[in-house]
Amino acid sequence: MPLVDPLDPDHDSDTKMLAEFFNETLGFCPNSVLTMQHRPAISKAFINLNKAVMANEGRVTSALKRLIAWVSSNATGCRYCQAHAIRAAERYGADQEQLENIWEYRTHPAFSKAERAALEFSLAASQVPNTVNKRIKKELYEYWDEGEIVEILGVISLFGFLNRWNDSMGTTLEEGAAESGDRYLGKYGWEKGKHI
Q: Domain-by-domain residue ranges, the chain?
A: 13-188
Q: How far apart are CA 98 and CA 35, in angstroms?
A: 32
DSSP 8-state class, residue 190: -
pLDDT tens, position by position, for the chain (196 residues)? 899 999 999 999 999 999 999 998 999 999 999 999 999 999 999 999 999 999 998 999 999 999 999 999 999 999 999 999 999 999 999 999 999 999 999 999 999 999 999 999 999 999 999 999 999 999 999 999 999 999 999 999 999 999 999 999 999 999 999 999 999 999 999 999 999 9
Query: Is pTM beyond 0.95 here?
Result: yes
What are phi and psi for residue 60, nearest 5 degrees?
A: -85, 90
- CB 190 within 8 Å of CB 178: no
DSSP 8-state secondary structure symbol assigned to residue 186 = G
CA distance 135 to 127: 16
List the beta strands (DSSP E) in the chain.
Answer: none
| Top CATH class, 13-188 | mainly alpha
